[in-house]
Structure 1
Amino acid sequence: MIPAEQSKGFVKSRLDRLRATLTGHVEHGGVPGLVALVARGDDAHVEAIGARSVGGGPVARDTLFRVASMSKPVTAVATMILVEECRLRLDDPVDELLPELADRRVLRHLDGPLDDTVPARRPITVRDLLTFRMGTGILMAPPGSYPIQQAMDALQLGQGMPRPSVVPEPDEWLRRLGTLPLMYQPGERWVYSTGSDVLGVLIARAAGRPFEEFLRERLFEPLGMTSTGFSVAPEQLDRFTTSYWTDPATGARAVYDEADGGEWATPPAFPAGAAGLVSTVDDFYAFSRMLLDGGRSDGERILSRASVELLTTDQLTPEQKTLSNLVPGFFDTNGWGFGCSVVTRHTELGHPVGQYGWTGGLGTVWGVDPKDRVTGVLLTGRAFTSPVPPPVVQDFWTSAYQALAD
């Protein structure tokens, strides 16, 4: 017999502990508000704690957050839809659809001048974009540390904290990117993020319609992700959060982006596949359920089971992990699939082997455990201060897994 305090997947008293822990982070000023979802199969529990802004109205289950890099797995799924339709092939060069990236030059030294280059040994492929092995991306170094970083910033390519209002439209964005050499040879090592932005342009050209339309028609509408997109409509702004960050000059909390009149209040010129989306916990739960069900949703097949398995399998070689960097030790316990991380060693409570997902630097995290069918989504309005998840994220995963009924 199942004890009265035990649900199908969780122990109620331990879910109460999760709520108390998250409430503490809000009350102590770590985040102004948050919405958290933990689910095991059909058994989902949501906590909405705090406010949409400092001194503002309360968050609710349907509150909208900027999910930043949680956009990456969505972009990867969209890419695999086109691979399954044979409009893209994983190991084909992208040159035909993206001629701006043909005949690449590669920096001889990362810290060298931009004209000190050698020819690329091979073209960039679709697989390179999905696995972040295209040869360029966001370097985990202070802004301006390398000439190539300075050049990317000068061209307003949006390869840093998300700023939708400053990035040009897709064709111009890719033209500018194509004027720069690669940092490394294609396929050589993992370099963060830029591959997902390139995929957004590739998807639009392969599908023959704008990236945001393709996502809406092929993913968001079939999955019921009615609140997910690259901007917030005027009639939904009362559900939207203000975004905060830690001012690098003062160390104090400051407004990063307002809800009303901010950068996500109007459609962007460049719908960023790497970090542009706004969403809710239930929309990401629907996305997670589709992946857990092998690509199906309410009887409709969105993606094949084989594609889901490939997308969520570690794709990096040991050598590539050694050459790459995110934070020290990350690739000792994690790999990278298509647009998401994959846990490869069980060293922490809340991160079992096989769990896949990713974080959003503006204060969000998502993960799916296919073995125990556990989904976790945590959305906050406070940007992280480093690639290492803050205590609220660590405590969320610990609290979610300590609440499992078995």
Structure 2
Amino acid sequence: MRHAAPEDVGLSSAGLDAVEAAVQAQIDAGMIAGAVTLTARHGRVARLTTMGLKDIAGGEPMAEDTIFRIFSMTKPITGTAMMILHDAGLWHPDDPIAKHLPELADVQVFAGEDEAGRPILVAPDRAPTMADLMTHRAGFAYGINIGEPSDRVEAMYRAAGVQQSSDLNDLVARLATLPLAYQPGTRWRYSLAMDVQGAIVERLSGQTLPEFMRTRIFAPLGMIDTAFFVAPDKKHRLATLYLKAPDAALTPLPGNPLRPDPEAEPRFAMGGGGLFSTAPDYARYAQMLLNGGELDGRRIVSAAGVREQMTNRLPDDLLETRFVAGHQKFRPGFGYGYNGVVFTDPDLAGVPVGKGTYHWDGAAGTWFWVDPENDLLFVGMIQLLSYVAPPLQATTQTLMADAIKD
């Protein structure tokens, strides 16, 4: 992506300085070790900034090509993989999930516990569909082994070891033994739905998920540092992952507590959270979305597919319940498309972005958004696991509004 002075693309240098100052303030306060941020408008990079340290103990500064664990920022890319297959006519939103994963044909729904504490299971009112799967409404849970399980279904997922599956087929086989957490379509629950999508990508394409993403998305887009593992000759570029507890200093983690960093391409590639990437690489993906599915003359997905991914799918009555997933606070005007948030009414949501802005974030603090109305994208990369992580996405979105001049 070509670079340009901020003013040449209708941005204020002083406004971008303020965006970066907000991130730098978190470094100065000891909340994060360092960051890489990238702002692009009208297809050109207006600012690519490195701040702070990649590794505190070694005193290594952040670099433009520092590699980050992007965790759930994998999800939008999995959504794009699904839309490529949708373009090919291989699935439809109304399809039952079991049409593509027959193992899930007899799935039941958790309906409480009996007097002996045994789970009560009932038949679903209707089969969970692909539309449910693409919007976290199918009824799946997550099963991540951190903290106490939030409910009985989450405990059942952990007991079944879904996060320890050997590959995506094994994941589906384990899910076939577990109930849905609620009747399909009736609620929104953050889940391993995008990992299930990864299994469908493999079934429909005949490729592994890493191979499909590499050949159909990363290579065509020139995303040279994005993969489900970090190659040995790039390992020195991987940012240290830090933990931050309240009233405690940043603590480096010897490993990834959510899932060990693989040394080679994993058999169990998680479409919901397994990728590593850089700010420039992810900006190329984001620019493809802004361009309606193509970059540098190479089409990845149809313009219609991008529109479908970036269109809100949640009804108003569900948004009125104001549920939360990390920093994502769903509410009227702040909905969800396929694998990411969609702003349908920024004024109502209270965030000064353009209508139709699409965004998501990751467990280690990475974040991005694409704003079609303002033809703008932003990528922010840090490496912090913390319940007290600063809301940098909302902060930088608010400040960016003052940087847009025309």
TM-score by length of 2: 0.89
Alpha-carbon distance in 1 for matches of 2:72, 2:6: 36
Within the candidate set 121, 131, 154, 2:135 is matched to 131
Tell me the residue number matched to 1:10: 11
Give the deviation of 1:383 after TM superposition.
Answer: 2.2
User: Cα deviation per residue 1:268-307 (whole Å; 9 max; x = unaligned)?
Assistant: 3311111111111111111111111111222222111111
Cα deviation, residue 146, structure 1: 1.5
SS in 2 for 1:109: strand
Decide whether the 8 Å contact of 2:33 with 2:55 is kept in 1: yes
Name which of 242, 250, 253 aligns with 2:250.
253
- Asked if 1 retains the 8 angstrom alpha-carbon contact of 2:319 and 2:330, the reply is no
Tell me which amino acid in the other structure corresponds to 1:176: R
Give the CA deviation at 1:6.
2.7
The corresponding residue for 2:22 is 21
1:69 corresponds, among 64, 68, 72, to 72
Match in the other structure for 1:182:
180
Structure 1: how far apart are the matches of 2:351 and 2:92?
Answer: 38
Cα distance in 1 between the residues matched to 2:135 and 2:213: 20
Secondary structure of the corresponding residue to residue 332 of structure 1: coil
CA distance in 2, matches of 1:90, 1:403: 38
Instruction: Quote the residue 2:123 is aligned against.
Output: 119
Q: CA deviation at 1:252?
A: 4.8
Provide the secondary structure at the position in 1 that maps to 2:359: strand
Whole-Å separation in 1 of the counterparts to 2:36 and 2:312: 29
Q: CA separation in 2, counterparts of 1:175 and 1:339? A: 23
Query: Contact 2:223–2:284 (CA<8 Å) still a contact in 1?
Result: yes
Deviation at 1:262, TM superposition (A): 5.6
Partner of 1:207: 205
C-alpha distance in structure 2 between counterparts of 1:111 and 1:133, whole Å: 25
- Structure 1 gaps of 5+ residues are 159-165
Q: SS of the residue aligned with 2:91?
A: coil
**How far off its partner does 1:384 sit?**
4.1
Alignment partner of 1:222 out of 220, 223, 227: 220
Deviation string, structure 1 residues 136-188 (Cα, Å, up to 9, x no partner): 22499963231211111222323xxxxxxx44321212111111110111222
Distance 1:152 1:266 in 2: 27
Amino acid at match of 2:310: T
Asked whether the equivalents of residues 129 and 195 of structure 1 are also in contact (C-alpha less than 8 Å), the reply is: yes
Residues 81 and 201 of structure 2 are in contact (CA less than 8 Å); yes or no, is this contact kept in structure 1? yes
Q: Is the 8 A contact 1:139 1:191 kept in 2?
A: no
Equivalent residues, number: 392
Q: One-letter code of the match for 1:151?
A: M
Query: Could you tell me how far 1:255 is from its partner in structure 2?
Result: 2.9
Task: Please give the per-residue CA displacement for 1:49-89, whole angstroms capped at 9, x wherever unaligned.
Answer: 11112223111111111111111110011001111111222
State the SS of the aligned residue for 2:119. coil
Q: Does residue 102 in structure 1 map to residue 100 in structure 2? A: no
Identity of aligned residues (%): 33
2:188 partner letter: W
Asked if the contact 1:190/1:324 (under 8 Å) is kept, the reply is no
- 1:346-392 CA-partner distances (Å, limit 9, x unpaired): 24454333211101111111101000111011100112416xx7244
Q: Mark the CA change 1:152 to 1:5 in structure 2 (over 3 Å): closer, same or farther.
A: closer
1:237 aligns with 2:235: yes
**Range moving further from structure 2, 347-356 or 236-245:** 347-356
Give the equivalent residue in structure 2 for 1:337.
337
Q: Residue 67 of structure 1 contacts residue 277 of structure 1 at CA under 8 Å; is this kept in 2? A: yes
Pick aligned residue for 2:274 from 263, 269, 276: 276
Relative to structure 1, the CA distance from residue 70 to residue 136 in structure 2 (aligned partners, 3 Å threshold; closer, same or farther) is same
Matched position secondary structure for 1:313: coil
Give, in whole Å, the separation in 2 of the partners of 1:76 and 1:148.
Answer: 25
**Which sections of structure 2, spanning at least 5 residues, go unmatched?**
none
Partner of 1:161: none
**Does the Cα contact within 8 Å between 1:296 and 1:302 map onto a contact in 2?**
yes
How far apart in 2 are the matches of 1:201 and 1:329?
A: 28
CA contact (8 A) 1:8 1:405 kept: no
| Greater Cα offset, 5-14 or 80-89 | 5-14
Name the SS of the counterpart of 2:373 in structure 1: coil
Offset of residue 110 of structure 1: 8.3
Which residue among 60, 67, 79 is the counterpart of 2:63? Answer: 60
What is the alpha-carbon distance in structure 1 between the residues aligned to residue 398 and residue 109 of structure 2?
43
Alpha-carbon distance in 2 for matches of 1:215, 1:322 = 36
- For residues 200 and 382 of structure 1, what CA distance do their matches in structure 2 show? 26
Q: 330-339 or 62-71, which moves further after superposition?
A: 330-339
- 1:90-148 CA distances to partner (integer Å, 9 max, x unpaired)? 21122243122112210113899563011012222222111111112249996323121
- Is 1:267 aligned to 2:265, yes or no? yes
Q: How far, CA to CA, are the matches of 2:66 and 2:120 in structure 1? A: 49
Distance 2:344 2:239 in 1: 34
Q: Where does residue 88 of structure 2 map in the other structure?
A: 85
Q: Which amino acid aligns with 2:268?
A: F
- Taking the aligned partners of 1:37 and 1:110, their CA distance within structure 2 comes to 50
Q: Aligned to 1:274, what secondary structure does the other structure show? A: coil
Are residues 116 and 258 of structure 1, via their aligned partners in 2, closer, same or farther at CA, if it must alter by over 3 Å? closer
User: 2:378 & 2:240 partners in 1: Cα distance?
Assistant: 22
Give the residue type in structure 2 aligned to 1:63.
Answer: T
Indicate the SS of the match to 2:166. coil
